[in-house]
Amino acid sequence: MSFPCAGRSILRAITATNSRCSIYVWGDKLEITDITRESDDAVQEMVVTMTASADEVNTYIDKAFKELAKNEIPGFRKGKAPREVIEREAGGHDMVFARIAEDIVNGEAPALLDDADVLFIGDPQFNLEKIPAENQPFTFTVSGPVPPEGTLSSYDEVSIEMPPNEATEEEIQTQIDELLSVYYNYDVIDDPDYEVEDGDYVTVRMTIMNDGAVIPGLNDVERMLSIGGGSMPESFDEHVIGSKIGYTLDFDFDAKGQEERPELGDGNLHANVEVKQIRKRVLPELDEEFLAKIGVTSLDDLHDQMKMTINMQKDRELPKLLEQKVVDALIERFEGEVPEYYVDFMRDNVSRELMQRLQKEGTGLQDWMLKNNVEAEKMQEEVNQESIDRAKRDMALEALFKEKGWEVTDEDIARELSGVDDAEAQIAELKEAHRMADLRKMCRQSMAARWLAKTADITVVE
């Protein structure tokens, strides 16, 4: 006999701590007597054996018959019918005691599984060899797929490269250059002999055709193009470079690899172009007038403000970059392939998160794909790769935690919830929902990532 999990959302992905564990005992109620990991070529499963004491079974039997006795039974006052009559009216002995078995399973198992850090992918099966009996212990098993255990080629510290913690002169100058680019002007080129160069801005009148048909919106239109700046494909710009004001150009080109210009396609394109005007972008001088305009008193003041801005940005972003790099380095040590069933599980999570985000944004999937020029096939590839990456990250961090023999303490849980407004209320809510194992999994992976970051051999590269 097998029962699903009665629709409860109590089982979530988590890696069990071992292939077989010792007995867990909870007083004189239900206890876990064995946890075994079973694996074939496709799926890893966990089989958990649970036993309810005879006293606990009797408690559930008494409770069940008290509830059933409240029903109207012909010939008897409420609560006075003998058990054999109550059983007959409720569908028979086996039916009544099957319900009692389900009550025991749903009443006790979720909390025990959560406490033992055993959570399944999807709903597990509760397997009963026989129904409960009065004055006897009741044993059943819970089984289902769990995240696979991964192995790493090494569990030592990782080596990574990181940018400097402090702003460099090159970074400061780049920031200043970016600031200057905001305040640019255009100088019109009047020289009739001037030839268009890469980086120029050229106003043209053009018509673009694809396989002999004029592309909608590109029939005898006037546009200013940034040559080499991505306004048009590189194969287009190559024909414009070297031209002069008044030139009329007639040439073939292609737009292969130009995903940001889907209207051009990647077929046989032809352009008719008249060069109308050439302009150069001119950046302002770093003189007193410009410095006053942007609110600084001197070049040194500008330098110091840029340095402060960069350092503040590094303070925010480098810790995240460090964690990303050390975890990526750990994942490079991942051995083998992620089982397909776990990729499928992660893919469901990725897809659900995408749909939830789009729902918050008030848009649908098809509208989002059209707006962002995303093809269905490419999107599927990206979702699949993200699913594989998440699975490897999960398995790699769990493998490191297990290898190091660490344990999650109350202090680790408090640290994980340090950014939560009411941590105690959050813990109470998770306990009530039998989801503390989810939190402990987050703690395990955070601990593994922090250890990697703390012990990493870091080479600073500017």
Condensed to tens digits (0 to 9), the pLDDT of residues 29-38 reads: 789 999 999 9
Mode of pairing for the β-strands spanning 159-162 and 457-460: parallel
Least confident of 38-42, 60-64, 295-299: 38-42
Q: Give me the amino acid identity at 327.
A: V
Using the predicted structure, report yes or no on whether residue 264 has a pLDDT greater than 80. Answer: no
Residue 135 three-state SS: coil
Least confident of 11-20, 198-207, 282-291, 400-409: 11-20
The DSSP H or E segment spanning 224 is: strand 221-226
* Dihedral angle over CA of 199, 201, 206, 211, nearest 10: 20
pLDDT on residue 429: 93
What is the average pLDDT across 107-111? 88
* Position with higher pLDDT, 27 vs 99: 99
pLDDT, tens only, 386-407: 999 999 999 999 999 999 999 9
Distance of CA 383 to the CA centre of its chain: 10
Using the predicted structure, report yes or no on whether residue 22 has a pLDDT greater than 60. Answer: no
**Which homologous superfamily does the CATH classification assign to the domain defined by 2-145?**
Trigger factor ribosome-binding domain (3.30.70.1050)
Cα–Cα distance, 343 to 150 (Å, whole number): 13
Q: At what angle do helices 376-404 and 299-331 cross, to 10 degrees?
A: 80
**Structure tokens given for 35:** 């946890």
Least confident of 130-144, 257-271, 356-370: 257-271
pLDDT on residue 171: 95
Angle 381-382-384 (CA atoms, 0-180°, nearest 5)? 65
Residues 6+ apart with CB under 8 A from 95: none
pLDDT on residue 4: 37
* Position with higher pLDDT, 216 vs 448: 448
What's the whole-model pTM score? 0.75
Mode of pairing for the β-strands spanning 213-214 and 30-39: unpaired
Q: Do the beta carbons of residue 11 and residue 114 sit within 8 Å? A: no
Per CATH, which fold does 317-460 belong to? Trigger factor, domain 2 (1.10.3120)
pLDDT, tens only, 309-355: 999 999 999 999 999 999 999 999 999 999 999 999 999 999 999 99
pLDDT on residue 309: 95
Using the predicted structure, report yes or no on whether residue 6 has a pLDDT greater than 50. Answer: no
The percentage of the chain sitting over the pLDDT mark of 90, rounded to a whole number, equals 68
Using the predicted structure, report yes or no on whether residue 26 has a pLDDT greater than 50. Answer: no
What is the average pLDDT across 249-260? 79
**Distances in whole angstroms, Cα of residue 137 to Cα of each of 99, 270, 382:** 16, 83, 51
Q: Do the beta carbons of residue 31 and residue 51 sit within 8 Å? A: yes
pLDDT on residue 258: 60
Q: Do the beta carbons of residue 249 and residue 273 sit within 8 Å? A: yes
What's 185-282's CATH class? alpha beta
In the chain, where the domains are located: 2-145, 185-282, 317-460
Q: What is the pLDDT confidence band of residue 266, given thresholds at 50, 70 and 90? A: low
**Structure tokens given for 455:** 């012990």
Using the predicted structure, report yes or no on whether residue 18 has a pLDDT greater than 50. Answer: no
Residues 6+ apart with CB under 8 A from 115: 24, 26, 436, 437
Least confident of 99-108, 238-247, 313-322, 393-402: 99-108
For the chain, what is the mean pLDDT?
88
Least confident of 90-94, 145-149, 245-249: 90-94
* Position with higher pLDDT, 326 vs 372: 326
pLDDT, tens only, 179-222: 998 898 899 999 999 999 999 999 999 999 988 889 888 999 99
